[in-house]
Amino acid sequence: MPYATVTWDQLHRDARTLAATLMAHPPFQGIVAVTRGGLIPAAIVARELECRLVETVCVASYAGEEGTRHAPVVLKAPAAGDGFGFLVIDDLVDTGVTAGLVRGLLPRGHFACLYAKPAGRPAVDSFVAEVPQDTWILFPWDTAPLFVPPLARPDLEAGS
């Protein structure tokens, strides 16, 4: 499976790009972040749109790396009525199953994400970039910086 690594800088740029496109919509009264992946993009978008009301919908649908998937389960429903006036944010729409579940809870919300795979695109209203369906995205919270020795010094260890 191919991987695509998203850095903190790229994530921040893409979240600001999403916020810029969302400014064309009427002001949102609040944001619903789909946890966990939507938390950081939602915080950035909330700042850019000067939105102070941030709610969460907690959904579990993956277990472990490379996505051992199971039917999504709502762990916490949002306090956002039917979603009218709310922006729903996630990091990624993959198959659209989670987005469909959340849309069932908030049918009048505006659904936005940073990255969309082809199978999930119809489940969201706005996104920044499309990603191939077979690509696994490594978000910054999934990775850690790692020391790499210079080519001329393969014996060198971190802190040496």
> Which residues are known catalytic residues?
90-91, 94
How far, in Å, CA of 134 to CA of 42, rounded?
A: 25
Task: Return the DSSP state at 36.
Answer: T
Q: Using DSSP, state whether 52 is helix, strand or coil.
A: coil
- Of 121, 65, 71, 115, give the one whose Cα is nearest residue 90: 115
For residue 25, which amino acid is it?
A: H
Helices (H), 56-108: 97-105
Helix (H, G, I), strand (E, B) or coil at 48: helix
First CA to last CA distance, the chain: 35
Strands 68-76 and 54-63: antiparallel
**Do residues 53 and 83 touch, judged by C-beta distance below 8 A?**
no
